[in-house]
Structure 1
């Protein structure tokens, strides 16, 4: 599986699209807002740039894509009014893999800019779509002031080598051999270290990065914190194997290119790479069914109205993320059956135990 070709969220605005199934991601962005406000405030006050360059890495598409950009600009505009400064011009770079639905983003930019001018009367805002993997250089040297990424860096650049014996699992699980666990961790180390090295070249001295991973609280990589959601999908696939609907070797050869790190693992790579100082490192949590966390009055769009039960909502969320990978490996014919079974398994588990995603957020400053 060539990750750069198949790792993309479901595009468009259909029932299984990422645009209509990204409430968990929106909730996480909302939870981490104070950290970004702190970062952009300290950055602007220390630099007072006439032109402020912001990059969102792994921007995806849908209602969340421009949420953080709007929030950062709003914070800077308030600072400008308080300090009696002229608004900077804003250069916004939206990065994701080439398969991302950039067209969906571009269609919304004019209305976004119009709303920005009407509500904030801020400086001009220029957008660029930047396709490419962030596990490599994406921007010119010393061209960025602020880098944001949320729920993207848990995705690896490739499926780790040496995981062929990860039988009946599609990610790390309680039955995964220690060699498989090590292979996943080693790949995370290589990828995140390279990410840091590249961003160190692209950020100005004193530039900030706010990064949020889908992660885990505990040190055990096979704990439920980071693996359970995929273990249950593997259960659905293995049930289909037992009924002869798909072949056992198909499941055994399918592995998700993801690693959900602990706070200490994230911190260790930052310290080893050496280009950044750590300002904050925090863990937050959100329910699998993010509708449990929201008051109806908080919704900004009817697209996130509750449909069906919690199992349905979580299955749709995961489908928006995983369907392209599943189709690439198993073909389209099994998709409806997989997610029907997955929904039932999720509903059963969620009725019996509290199920949560854990998020690791780190705020970094580029050393001088």
Structure 2
């Protein structure tokens, strides 16, 4: 499966991107996570500002999707920087360059349509003295280079890095399952872990090239507490879906061969697995 070509959140309609089945209409959990991690994000951007005092602040949101969450993080970052500027007595505000990245199938049109109203709102909130903000859409996989060397000051990504670049290459069939499960062969679990290692290490390597000296990253993604990759805390929802699909196979609604070759390109790492890849980089 060409994950880069087919994986994206459902788009919407109109300027707001809201639709009956749009991601914008069903992204409240993601919004809650962004709110929960707000103190971490604010601390990181504060350290960045005081240590570099950039004239041009370049922010990249990787896996931005589309809807109300897309510009929420950006607006909060700009507000924090402007408050720090005023508090420090700096008359000159940095100019902001924001890169919004997601896979090519993302609903970028809805984002672009919402920019005029967003920029007007920011001008009203920040008042005179705040620097201009320029937006660029960057379609492509973040498991590869997206930006020139040493150009990014701040990288943010939320609820995206649990998605793998591709379905792991398996030497054994994961028959009856669509993800890691208690009944999956050990080789399947190893294949998923190996794909996570390859993808996350590539992500870190690419961002290391793209970040300026002293740049910051805040990455939020799904994980698990257990060291068991097939534990219920991360796999149960996929096991339920597998039960439904197997029932459809038994009724002839889905071909058994297609079911046998279908696996979800998703991995929820443990803290030790994340730490290991970061230390390697």
TM-score by length of 1: 0.73
Aligned Cα root-mean-square deviation (Å): 1.0
CA-to-aligned-CA distance 1:189-216 (integer Å, 9 cap, x gap): 0011011010000000110000011111
Secondary structure of the structure 1 residue equivalent to 2:214: strand
Structure 2 vs 1, CA of residues 163 and 152 (structure 1 numbering), >3 Å: closer, same or farther?
Answer: farther
- Aligned ranges for residues 336-347 of structure 1 at < 5 Å? none
Q: Determine which of 24, 35, 39 is the counterpart of 2:29.
A: 24
- Residue matched to 1:3: 3
- Residue matched to 2:97: 91
- Residue matched to 1:159: 167
The answer to whether structure 1 residue 117 and structure 2 residue 123 are counterparts is yes
Q: Which moved more, 1:181-190 or 1:159-168?
A: 159-168
The answer to whether structure 1 residue 226 and structure 2 residue 226 are counterparts is no
Contact kept? 1:164, 1:252, Cα under 8 Å: no
CA-to-aligned-CA distance 1:116-164 (integer Å, 9 cap, x gap): 0100122100000001111110000000000000111111111110165
- Residue matched to 1:108: 114
- Residue matched to 1:208: 216
Q: Determine which of 135, 142, 148 is the counterpart of 1:140.
A: 148
TM-aligned CA deviation for residue 264 of structure 1:
1.0
Contact kept? 1:172, 1:222, Cα under 8 Å: yes
CA-to-aligned-CA distance 1:203-252 (integer Å, 9 cap, x gap): 00110000011111111110112111111111111121222221222211
- Residue matched to 1:312: none
Secondary structure of the structure 2 residue equivalent to 1:64: helix
Secondary structure of the structure 2 residue equivalent to 1:219: coil
Contact kept? 2:143, 2:165, Cα under 8 Å: yes
The answer to whether structure 1 residue 40 and structure 2 residue 48 are counterparts is no
Contact kept? 2:162, 2:268, Cα under 8 Å: yes
The answer to whether structure 1 residue 184 and structure 2 residue 192 are counterparts is yes
CA-to-aligned-CA distance 1:309-366 (integer Å, 9 cap, x gap): xxxxxxxxxxxxxxxxxxxxxxxxxxxxxxxxxxxxxxxxxxxxxxxxxxxxxxxxxx
- Residue matched to 1:199: 207
Distance, in Å, in 1 between the alignment partners of 2:76 and 2:178 is: 37
Structure 2 vs 1, CA of residues 163 and 228 (structure 1 numbering), >3 Å: closer, same or farther?
Answer: farther
Question: Alignment length, in residue pairs?
Answer: 273
- Residue matched to 2:15: none
Contact kept? 1:213, 1:261, Cα under 8 Å: no
Distance, in Å, in 1 between the alignment partners of 2:172 and 2:32 is: 35
- Residue matched to 1:14: 19
CA-to-aligned-CA distance 1:64-108 (integer Å, 9 cap, x gap): 000100111111111011101122110000001111110010000
Secondary structure of the structure 1 residue equivalent to 2:219: strand
Distance, in Å, in 1 between the alignment partners of 2:183 and 2:36 is: 33
Secondary structure of the structure 1 residue equivalent to 2:75: helix
Listed as ranges, the gaps of 5+ residues in structure 1 are: 274-368
TM-score by length of 2: 0.95
Contact kept? 1:19, 1:63, Cα under 8 Å: yes
- Aligned ranges for residues 278-317 of structure 1 at < 5 Å? none
